[in-house]
Amino acid sequence: MELSRSLVAAKAREYRENEPLDTVEREQIETLPAAFASGEYGRRDAAWVVRWYYRRFLGDYPDRERRAAEEAFRENDFEAVRAAIADAVAATDAATGLDRLTDLDAVDVPVASAFLAFIEPDEYVVVGPRVWATLREAGELDRSYPDPPSVPAYEDYLERCRALADRFDCDLPSLYRALWRLASSE
């Protein structure tokens, strides 16, 4: 498979038209960055990011693991969650934001990348096995998905995604949506 500007645009459009979580994702991309930056959000807003990460698979993610992660995140002291998010908002690079977020229970690099993507969607993109595999199949990544990915692996992935978004003149959320749909059409 070869990625192109027209393919990315078509698949991102297909995502909007077919993915059941598209509307709520768009609403959250519009509201969460400002809420996280100002600190004016509640426990449920932060927990939504964790729920979204697992539930976007629409049942393809093992239910027991999903529930365990969601419950473990809810057990975090909310002030610790607020501090981690504030530090991620203030971070000037992915590594710092990821490191701080992964201090929380149930937040590994993939879930932390989801937080970053909702903190600053123009700078960060969520990582996971599905979109990673799409990039690898397109020849954009050299190795299989490292399960779980390390901070340096995320930085490599992010660099590749940023370069592709620049090449295809699209934003990172659109690139992510296109990669997600490309994976679902295989």
Q: Shortest CA distance to 113 belongs to which of 142, 151, 140, 60?
A: 151
pLDDT band at 66 (very low <50, low <70, confident <90, very high): confident
Q: How many domains does the chain have?
A: 1
Cis check for the bond before 148: say yes or no (omega within 30 of 0): yes
Between 119 and 55, the more confident residue is 119
CA 51 to chain centre: 12
Q: What is the pLDDT of residues 77-97, one digit of tens each?
A: 999 999 999 999 999 999 999
- pLDDT score at 99: 98
160: containing domain: 5-184
- pLDDT score at 147: 86
Q: Exposed (0-12), middle (13-18) or buried (19+): which is 9, by Cβ within 10 Å?
A: middle
Q: What is the pLDDT of residues 100-138, one digit of tens each?
A: 999 999 999 999 999 999 999 999 999 999 999 999 999
Q: What number of other Cβ atoms are within 10 A of residue 106's Cβ?
A: 19
d(CA 2, CA 20): 26
